[in-house]
Amino acid sequence: GDSVTQMEGPVTLSEEAFLTINCTYTATGYPSLFWYVQYPGEGLQLLLKATKADDKGSNKGFEATYRKETTSFHLEKGSVQVSDSAVYFCALGYSGAGSYQLTFGKGTKLSVIP
């Protein structure tokens, strides 16, 4: 079956440091890939997505490229801020028979210190 594997956290970085959160997947078809972010005490928000190989999703300074050859979708940001402290989830999804189900990784908690 499909699965998503994320690097385990927690990850602690100083402000303005470079961020990479690794995400790899196994899939039986051609899914879309997503990064969701969950700020403390809040629900999940879509951060970025990519729907096909070589697509790059980007938002709020974060970016991730859909790499079919390495089955990866690593999240990067050049300079993190304290406000980026959150839990980040990588996910894949298919549409089929009218439904759309997401398979999530376990999440990576990021803490950014001043």
Partner 1 sequence: NAGVTQTPKFQVLKTGQSMTLQCAQDMNHEYMSWYRQDPGMGLRLIHYSVGAGITDQGEVPNGYNVSRSTTEDFPLRLLSAAPSQTSVYFCASRGQNSGNTIYFGEGSWLTVV
Among 21, 49, 80, 112, binds partner 1 (CB under 8 A): 49
Residues 56-85 that bind partner 1 (CB under 8 A): none
Residue that the structure tokens 């970085």 belong to: 13
Q: Give every CB contact of residue 55 below 8 A, 6+ residues apart in sequence.
A: 65, 66
Among 44, 58, 71, 72, binds partner 1 (CB under 8 A): 44
Residues 15-34 that bind partner 1 (CB under 8 A): 32
Q: Dihedral angle at the C-alpha atoms of 6, 95, 37, 56, nearest 10 degrees?
A: 80
Q: Does 98 engage in binding with partner 1 (CB under 8 A)?
A: yes
Residues in contact with partner 1 by the rule CB under 8 A:
4, 32, 36, 42-46, 49, 51, 89, 93, 95, 97-102, 104-107
